[in-house]
Structure formats: C-alpha cells, structure tokens
Homo-oligomer: A and B are copies of this chain.
Amino acid sequence: MFTNRVTELFGIDYPIIQAGMIWASGWKLASAVSNAGGLGIIGAGSMYPDVLRSHIQKCKAATSRPFGVNIPLLYPDLEQHIRIIIEEQVPVVVTSAGNPKTWTRTFKDAGITVVHVVSSSKFALKSQDAGCDAIVAEGFEAGGHNGREETTTLVLIPAVKNAVQIPVIAAGGIATGRQMFAVMALGAEGVQVGTRFVACEEASVHPHFKSAVLNAAEGDTQLSLKKLTPVRLLKKRVFSARCRKRKGEVLTRANWQAYWAGHVRNGACTKGTWKRGNWRLARQVRW
C-alpha cells in the first residue's frame, strides 16, 4: 500500500482528494470517493446551513471513512457553517477564498484537520504560518474560482514546494494518472481533482452538465470575470453575455457577496438549464 504524508494526514488509501464543488459535490459524491479510498469533500458554498448539516449527516451514515467539507471563507453564513462543522465533528475542512489566519485555530482546537487552498507561494507560506496541516496549490487550469496571478500548475507546484514544509496537494488540470504522476514529480504529495468527478454518477449535477464535461474540448473553458473574481467557466453563448454584463465590476465586499449569494439561489447546475448556469470546469476536460 502506498503511503505518504498526505495519506497519513487524512487516513486514506490514495492521495486523491475530490474537490468541493458547489452544486456538484454533496454527500453522495463525497461518501463514494471516501469509500473508494480517497478523500471526499462536501462543497458547502452552495448550501444553506440546514442543507449542509443534512449532507454531513447523510455522508457520515454512508461512509465510515474520513471525509471533509469545503467552505469559502467569504460565504455569507460562514459562522453558522463553522458551528455545524464543529458540532458534527467533520474530520477535515478545506478553506478557500479568505485569510487562513482567521479560522484555522478554531478548527484545530476542535480537532479538525485544516487544509487551505492557495494560488501562490505567498499565501502558501501564510497558510503554513496560520497552522494549516496542508495546502492545496491550485493552478490557472482549475475550474471555478481561481487566483489572480494566473500561475499554472506546472510552475506553481515547484514554487510552493520550495516555500513551505507542510504537504502540498496539487490542483488544476489534473484528470489522469499521468497528470497525477507529473505533479507528484514536481513535488506534490497528493492531488485535488474536481472536474473529472463532475462526470461521475454520484455527482449531483444535471446529466446535461455531465455531458458538457465529457464533450468539452481544448479551449472550451475560459477564465472569466477577472476583475470581480476570476472564475473558470465553460464558454457558452448565453453565459458569455451575462459575463460581459458584469465585466466592468470590480471587487468590493458588496459586489462579491451579491455575486456569491447568486450561487445559493442558482440551481441551474442541477436543473441542467444553459440559460442560468455558470458552468465551472477545469481546463482539463478530456481524459
């Protein structure tokens, strides 16, 4: 059996973490991944607090293996989410989109393993200083929200590996064994994979979304809303028009929260309508 610091940290068989993805990764996907020996993650960013609690409870019932919850630290109901995660004794938390200093201690004091998602060496170091157990270093290729630096996985992983001592989990553009091998040769000790898991039976998105993943080709995703909050989306006519509408918006707390609140209301991924969905896919869409 392969073991390294990542398998030991989480108590898993393979150093493969399934990314928390809004609308796509509920308890079904997370428990399936954990049962298969990886680390399944519930994506809390699209869930109201009571929905999150229910997903955690169902996940615990469906697997006896470790699993985690991903929470964007700018989420409007953040404190309620944190309380639920601690009350439910979730083994792992993956935090993103915020300062790792603010909440890491709270989670650690509750006995929870903390991983922060970063897109630069600078924030990797900040996460290590904040007491995080590991980091996910996410390159430009990654689906969904993304760093402003546009540093790609091939360049980011060695840089981050040089900067910190805690384990580095690579993310962005990884969907195959070869790609996993390549990033581990660069110094990563594990991988976080998102888009590949969207196509799984257990992902909670509409079959139209799964087909879009399977049929997307090179150049079919694009980093959008660069000023407001960079996010990699599947290019499509209707959403492109909506992006153009928001294009001029710059990042303010109010703008961002209004944008984010849209995710909670927006069930398009699950309803499979092109019109309302902003479909987030990683660069790697074929494997």
Q: Which residues of chain A have a CB within 8 Å of any CB of chain B?
A: 120-122, 139-141, 148-156, 158-159, 172-174, 176, 178-179, 181-183, 185-187, 218-219, 222-223, 283-284, 286
Contacts and interface: CB of A to CB of B under 8 A. Distances in A.
A218 B151 contact: yes
Contacts of A183: 154, 182
Nearest to A177: B185
A159 B120 contact: no
Contacts of A140: 140, 152
Contacts of A185: 178, 181-182, 185
A-B pairs with lowest CB-CB distance, top 9: A149-B219, A182-B182, A152-B152, A154-B173, A182-B185, A155-B173, A155-B284, A155-B283, A154-B154
Nearest to A284: B155
Given A121-B218, A218-B121, A152 B178 contact: no
Question: In the assembly, how many copies of this chain are there?
Answer: 2
B139 A152 contact: yes
Contacts of A159: 218, 286
19 contacts: A139-B152, A139-B154, A141-B152, A141-B154, A141-B155, A149-B218, A150-B219, A150-B223, A151-B218, A152-B152, A152-B154, A152-B173, A154-B154, A154-B172, A154-B174, A154-B182, A155-B283, A158-B178, A185-B185
A152 B283 contact: yes
A158 B154 CA distance: 14
Contacts of A149: 218-219
Given A120-B218, A139-B152, A152-B152, 9 more contacts: A141-B155, A151-B218, A152-B153, A152-B283, A153-B154, A154-B172, A154-B179, A155-B218, A182-B182
